[in-house]
Amino acid sequence: MLHCGSIWKTRIVRGVFLGVLFQGAALYAMADQPESPAKQKKLNVLFIAIDDLNDWVGCLGGHPQAITPNIDALAADGLVFEKAYCAAPLCGPSRTSLLYGVPAHVSGSYGHDSKHNPVQLMPADVQSIPMMFQKNGYHTMGAGKLFHMKFHDERGFDSYLTKASGLRPDKSSPDYNAKPISFGPVATDDDYEIQDTKFTVAVIEDLEKHKDEPFFLSLGLKKPHMPWNAPQKYFDMYDLEKIELPEVPADDLDDLPAIARYIAGPGVHHPFVEGGTHEYMSADPMLWKRAVRAYLATSTFADANVGRMIDALKKSGQYDNTVIVLWGDHGWHLGEKNHWRKHALWERSTKTTFIMRVPGLTTPGARCSSVVSLSDIYPTLVELCNLPKRDVAGNSLVPLLKDAEKKVLNPALMQLGPGNYSVRYDQWRYTRYRDGSEELYNQSVDPDEFNNVAGNPEFAETKEVLKKYIPTEEAPDPAGEKSAFEVLKRFEAKP
């Protein structure tokens, strides 16, 4: 539950009124308050963050050929959220929103500029999830990428491993490609020589030392973030010739506003590639297939580390006393909407893999089709672990963890820099950009978002309902004219 005042006062000084920002009571109201399952014994937490993993995993079927047996096994033993959305489709603000419980439009932490550092932007009494666990008597340890690396916040950790030596890609491989999309095998078949596996081993070693005290362990896997480098054996698990490419209708961008076409093409955060990334990648279908295979192969490599971590938890004897939270920080396009990378407000950029297993609460194999946000993780952990309530965004997911089929209608809000918002609510996605232009998709008949119906008068009322979930005020961009999002100002509506 959010309250104006306390930690939010600093933001008001910056001209932001939070009562307005958090309009739409349903968005942030806690759902009903069932009894916590953790009254007696402290539940441990294993927190697994996977960088740039979209919904291309077996249990979500985002790509029909994805091989992710360990993530699928976790889903089969816990609960998979079929419609989980990031708060922002890029590492920094997605992780910042999730880990501090404060969305970008409140904190001003919109991107990766040094001025977007959440530690400097957040009021001093804001606590990250690890800080909260440490203050409440947990042993806390982490390795890899949890916060955006540049904004790594060690407060809250008894120990943290941020770096481990990694191996360079094998540039002699025919699968090596440097630009504009970077991928290829590494020059070893030994997973244990690779950075992410070293992070995994570090967390496993810490688990063995501290398994008998309440623990919060955080494993931040950096793959499948680009470059898509993994041992050749993971590439070999996929038949290159048979790789299926995403469906990209030639006229898909015709019904988009100019700002959305810009985001699909040159976009924010990446320099313009002559002719556009998609034109380059799709000109040679085999190059496109090699890229899709590399993303899938690197996701399979990430999955192997998930398996190592969960096997170790089982061996420790703590599996049935540990909440497991596995999340990808946002999605990724590999050609859909003529777009590559993230940094966009469509389904493929914003939907991600999110699985929880809560001993005694989740039903093995449960699937939840209600819309949820990664911002819901913070209040959920507070409730599950009986920690003191915090003023944070999001809704506790405990009612859904208990009953995945319970119908809960909460909107998920996503943001791409100042002024660009998207709302997923029920079967709808409504997006409004800084120049006022809009997109509206009916997911129940158009899950690929091919038909923008924002201009259809039939849905005028629907838009009015969805619009109410978009904040009417937001923190200014502290990076000012140097912000990567400045490029979108060219689309500002002229008075």
Helix (H, G, I), strand (E, B) or coil at 113: coil
Q: Which residues pair with 323 in a beta bridge?
A: 45
DSSP structure class, residue 57: S
| Residue 241 or 251 having the CB closest to Ca ion | 251
| Residue 51 or 196 having the CB closest to Ca ion | 51
Q: Of 148, 210, 333, 339, which is the active-site residue?
A: 148
Burial of 473 (0-12, 13-18, 19+ CB in 10 A): middle
Contact 90, 112 (CB under 8 A): yes
Task: Give the C-alpha separation, 170 to 184, whole Å.
Answer: 7
Assigned token pair, 54? 């979209």
| Residue 153 or 329 having the CB closest to Ca ion | 329
Helix (H, G, I), strand (E, B) or coil at 301: helix
Q: For residue 375, what are the CA distances in angstroms to 23, 103, 300, 407? A: 16, 8, 26, 19
| Residue 68 or 410 having the CB closest to Ca ion | 68
Q: Of 59, 91, 368, 385, which is the active-site residue?
A: 91
Tell the smallest beta-carbon distance from residue 377 to Ca ion (Å): 16
Tell the smallest beta-carbon distance from residue 341 to Ca ion (Å): 10
| Residue 316 or 415 having the CB closest to Ca ion | 415
E strands of 32-123, at which residues? Answer: 44-50, 79-85
Tell the smallest beta-carbon distance from residue 130 to Ca ion (Å): 18
Tell the smallest beta-carbon distance from residue 50 to Ca ion (Å): 9
| Residue 11 or 63 having the CB closest to Ca ion | 63
> For binding to Ca ion (CB under 5 A), which residues are involved?
51-52, 91, 252, 255, 329, 450
Contact 417, 485 (CB under 8 A): yes
| Residue 250 or 493 having the CB closest to Ca ion | 250
Tell the smallest beta-carbon distance from residue 328 to Ca ion (Å): 8
Task: Give the C-alpha separation, 143 to 275, whole Å.
Answer: 39
Assigned token pair, 68? 């992710």
Catalytic annotation present for 91: yes
Tell the smallest beta-carbon distance from residue 94 to Ca ion (Å): 7
| Residue 66 or 454 having the CB closest to Ca ion | 454
Q: Which residues pair with 272 in a beta bridge?
A: none
Tell the smallest beta-carbon distance from residue 321 to Ca ion (Å): 30
E strands of 117-239, at which residues? Answer: 139-144, 159-161, 215-221
- Using DSSP bridges, classify how beta strands 215-221 and 428-432 pair: parallel, antiparallel or unpaired: unpaired
Task: Give the C-alpha separation, 3 to 309, whole Å.
Answer: 38
Tell the smallest beta-carbon distance from residue 3 to Ca ion (Å): 31
Assigned token pair, 85? 């959305």
- Using DSSP bridges, classify how beta strands 215-221 and 139-144 pair: parallel, antiparallel or unpaired: parallel
Q: String of b and e for 180-208 (b: at least 16 CB within 10 Å)? A: bbebbbbbeeebeebbbbbbbbbbbebbe
Q: Annotated active-site positions, please?
A: 91, 148
